[in-house]
Chains A and B, each alone.
Chain A
Amino acid sequence: MSRHSGISLFLMELVMMLAVFVTVAAIDTLMLVKANNLSRQSENLDRAVEYAVSAAECYRATGGGARAGMTDTGGAWTQYFDKNWQSTDESGAKFAVIMTDTGGGAQVTVNDGGESIYTLSVKAAPNEG
């Protein structure tokens, strides 16, 4: 009788300890998933800066964005990307790089699903020659 209840108590204790461990592991996993999302956001921001800088540099050199692979839409240049930053058309786009002529300069905006994640202003400067 006492041997059986001893085994039951031991199992109960073991299960309770595991329950605590599972709770902690679940919290830990949630934190890692959040870290993973932050790392993806950071990667997207890096890419956004990369394409915005390229567009701005092309504007400085040529006065437009065609050299950076952008499409002229009349006073603005656009380029669309899917979630893996592969060039795509507007319908399948997650990210959009939009460069707008501001008169003597341009503003480059990178949107993630309609929300701006990076903006850069560039002024056209004459070459030193």
Chain B
Amino acid sequence: MESRSRATGQLIWILLFFAFTACVIAALLQAAMVYNNITGVLNDEFSIHTGLNYVQSRVRSGDSGGGVYVGKFDGIDALYCLEKDSDGEYTTIIYGYDGSMRELYCEKGAEFEPDAGEKLLDMDSLGFEDAGSGLIRVTCASGGSTGSIYIASRTEGGGGA
């Protein structure tokens, strides 16, 4: 009789042990999922909003005399920012290629391949669209999220590629 009650007592402790172990595993799995979700969202949002803000600041800094316009760079949608120097005219081309936002600074009219540009940010796609009335629509996509903004250029572009 005494040994049976002792066995029951031990069984309760063993059951409690398994119950707590299951709780610990569940809590750790949930925490891992939440952490994974947070880092995923932060990474996607970082790429999208950093990209959009970068393009916005490039448009603002080069927005004079029609120096900013949307065009095609080797068949890819691209944003052209023209600069005039005493040496001649130079252009900064921003475009999306091979899973990243890229930037190429070169003499106006010089021919380069898209992979010549410097990688700035990893993102799935980057698109530029001339929305008319001096508006440029920029769209970035990363990890299933998409962000898009309109940027009003004070001087309508079209300086020619």
Contacts and interface: CB of A to CB of B under 8 A. Distances in A.
A11 interface: yes
19 contacts: A7-B10, A11-B10, A25-B23, A25-B28, A28-B31, A29-B34, A32-B30, A32-B31, A35-B34, A35-B38, A39-B41, A50-B149, A57-B135, A61-B134, A61-B135, A61-B152, A68-B150, A125-B154, A128-B154
Nearest to A32: B34
Contacts of A39: 37-38, 41-42
**A contacts with B: majority SS:** helix
**B contacts with A: majority SS:** helix
Given A29-B27, A68-B150, A128 B131 contact: no
A36 to B, nearest CB: 5
Interface in A19-78: 19, 21-22, 25-26, 28-29, 32-33, 35-36, 39-40, 42-43, 46-47, 50, 53-54, 57-58, 60-62, 67-68
A12 B20 contact: no
Contact of B35 (A7, A8, A32): A32
A46 B56 CA distance: 15
A7 B7 CA distance: 11
B13 A36 contact: no
B150 to A, nearest CB: 4
B155 interface: yes
Nearest to B9: A8
A53 B49 CA distance: 12
Contacts of B38: 32, 35-36, 39
Given A11-B13, A29-B34, A67-B133, A54 B149 contact: yes
A46 B150 contact: no
Contacts of B135: 57-58, 61-62, 67
Nearest to B147: A50
Given A26-B27, A36-B38, A127 B155 contact: yes
Contacts of A32: 30-31, 34-35, 38
A54 B41 CA distance: 22
What class of interface size applies to chain B in its complex with A?
35 or more
* Residue of A22, A42, A57, A125 with most chain B CB atoms under a 10 A cut-off: A57
Contacts of A53: 56, 149-150
* Residue of A7, A40, A67 with most chain B CB atoms under a 10 A cut-off: A67
A28 B27 CA distance: 9
Given A47-B147, A127-B156, 10 more contacts: A8-B6, A8-B9, A11-B17, A15-B17, A25-B23, A25-B31, A32-B30, A46-B49, A54-B148, A61-B135
